[in-house]
Amino acid sequence: HFISDGSSSSSHQTPKSTAKWASSLENLLEDPEGVKRFREFLKKEFSEENVLFWLACEDFKKTQDKKQMQEKAKEIYMTFLSSKASSQVNVEGQSRLNEKILEEPHPLMFQKLQDQIFNLMKYDSYSRFLKSDLFLKHKRTEEEDEESPDAQTAAKRASRIYNT
């Protein structure tokens, strides 16, 4: 009974990932698994570049090194913003962006565009994602996992308890 106690309390502490994803787009984007699923979904919708751009901007904001910042800014520009970009995102004010800004990059230079894309995802693809098979299937799997802990997870839990 020790084992089953352990499992029930641990499942309460961690809300299901799908529940987290459904609670906000921020939570979804903080979870690598959530990002993976969301990307799969956006790929089907041909708008994966939105989340890739958002992730690239997040990464860019954490960049301290000036030289690296320049490289990343250029990469973001070439990949998502230039008129010849391979994965062009659709943002306002894009045409005003030019390569000059890339010479003096600063951490928040893409913030406005990133916010636009965030809102675009939030009010558009994110709400569709929550209704998508991809999300619902994942949610079902989670719920089934909880109802029927198979032998393997029980064994794993047991070993976790005895190893401590």
Number of neighbouring beta carbons within 10 Å of residue 46: 7
Give the integer Cα–Cα distance in Å for 69 and 132. Answer: 36
pTM: 0.76
What pLDDT, in 10s, does the model give residues 14-62? 668 999 999 999 999 999 999 999 999 999 999 999 999 999 999 999 9
Q: pLDDT averaged over the chain?
A: 83
